[in-house]
Amino acid sequence: MIGMGESVPFRVDIADEVLDDLRRRLRATRWPEAQTVPDWSQGVPLDRVRELCRHWADGYDWRATEARLNALPQYRTEVDGLWIHHLHVRSPDPDAIPLVMTHGWPGSVIEFLKVIGPLTEPAAGDAPAFHVVCPSLPGYGFSDKPTGPGWGVERVGRAWVELMAGLGYERFAAQGHDWGTSVSTAIAQHAPDRVIGLHLVPPLAAPDPATLDDLTDAERRSLADLERAGAVEDGYSLEQSTRPQTIGYGLVDSPAALCAWIVEKFRAWTDWEHRTFTDDDLLDNLMLYWLPGTGASAARLYWESFKAVQQRFAGSTTDEVTVPVGGSVFPKEIPRPSRRWAARRFTDIRYWSEPALGGHFAAFEQPDLFVAEVRACFRALTA
C-alpha cells in the first residue's frame, strides 16, 4: 500500500548565482554549423535556437515567472517515498469538483498557469468549477527524482490517488494529456470508485482493425499523420526510452541542447499558426527542466513506460476503462483517435469534442478553449 507522509508549503526561490551560471553557459555555447536545408527537416534551425538562447541570456525575466508561481499555493508532499511538488488552488464554489491535472513531456505545470484561475472561478449556469491540483511528475520540475526503477505511469497513478486523498478529496476527477493521459487512465483503473470521471486530450486508443476497410476521411487522415510522425518525429522517444541517461548528460549540462531538444517538439506538435504562447512562455517551461536539472530524470519515464504504452496503442492489450470519460481531440494532435476507436477501450464515453484549433499542448496553446472543453466535459459527465 502506498503511504503518504508530510506535506509542507513550498516557494520557488532560485539563487542569483544559479541564474548567473545559466547566462554564462548560454553566452559560451559552442554552436554547430547551420543546417543544410532551409526548413526544420534536419531539426531546429540554428538561427531559431540562437535567437531563443540570446533572449534567454539577456532579455528573459525568470523572477517574473517565479512570482507568478509563488502567487499560487504550492506544496511538496511525501507520497510513496518521494516528495511531490504540486499546485493546489481551491475554488470559492462549495460545489466545485476536485480535479487533478497531469502534464507530460516536454511540458510542466507551467502549461496550466493560464487555465488554473478560470477553472477555479464559479461559472454561469450548470457549468462546474474546480478545485485544481497540478502535480509535477516524479523526476520533473520541483518533484523528487526517483533513485531506483519502478516509477512508471501506473505507480504515478496510484500515487496521485493517495495525494488527492491526503488533500481531503476522496472522490475526484482527473484530466491529462501526453503522459497525463496514461496517468489519468491508470488512476481510473486502480481506483474506479474514487474517480468522478476523466477528461483526456485525447484518450489513448488503438485504431480498431474492424474499421480499416471502412475508414472515415478523418480516420484516414489520422492514420496518415501517425505514419508520417512515426517516420520523422520519433527519434527523441527511441533515445529516451532506451538510453535516457546518455541524452541526459547534454540536457543537464547545456541549456542550448535542452532548448533545441524541447522546442523542436513545441514547434512540431502544436497548431503553430494559432498558438497563443510566446517565446517567454517557452522559456518558462524550459526553466522547470533547467533549474532542477531534470533532463535525464524526466526522460527516464520513457524508459519506464513507453514500451507498454506503445503496445497498448498498437492494440496488443485490451484493458478496459469503465469510469465516465470525455475526450477532446484537437486538430493538430497526433494521434487523433476517432470516437468509435476510443469506445473499444473506454466503455462509458459521455463527451466527445473535436475543437477547431489547438494541438498537443492545448492548455498552453488555447487556454480559453481548453477551459471551455474541461467545463463542457464535466458538465456532461456529472449531469
Catalytic residue annotation:
178, 302, 360
- In the block, cell 503553430 appears at 272
Q: How many helices (H) and strands (E) does the chain have?
A: 15, 9
β-pairing, 82-89 vs 4-9, is unpaired
Sequence-ordered list of residues with C-beta below 8 angstroms from that of 177, at least 6 positions apart, any chain: 103, 104, 200, 201, 202, 360, 361, 362, 363
Element of type H or E holding 196: strand 195-201
> Nearest 5 degrees, angle CA 243-CA 248-CA 254?
145
Distances from the Cα of 196 to the Cα of 118, 186, 275, 326, angstroms:
20, 14, 31, 11
**What is the rounded distance in angstroms from the CA atom of residue 27 to the CA atom of residue 117?**
36
**What is the rounded distance in angstroms from the CA atom of residue 290 to the CA atom of residue 141?**
9
Strand partners, 8: 76
Number of Cα atoms under 13 Å in the Cβ half of residue 220: 5
Residue from 154, 177, 188 nearest 265 by CA: 177
129: number of Cβ within 10 Å: 22
How far apart, in Å, do the first and last CA atoms of the chain sit? 33
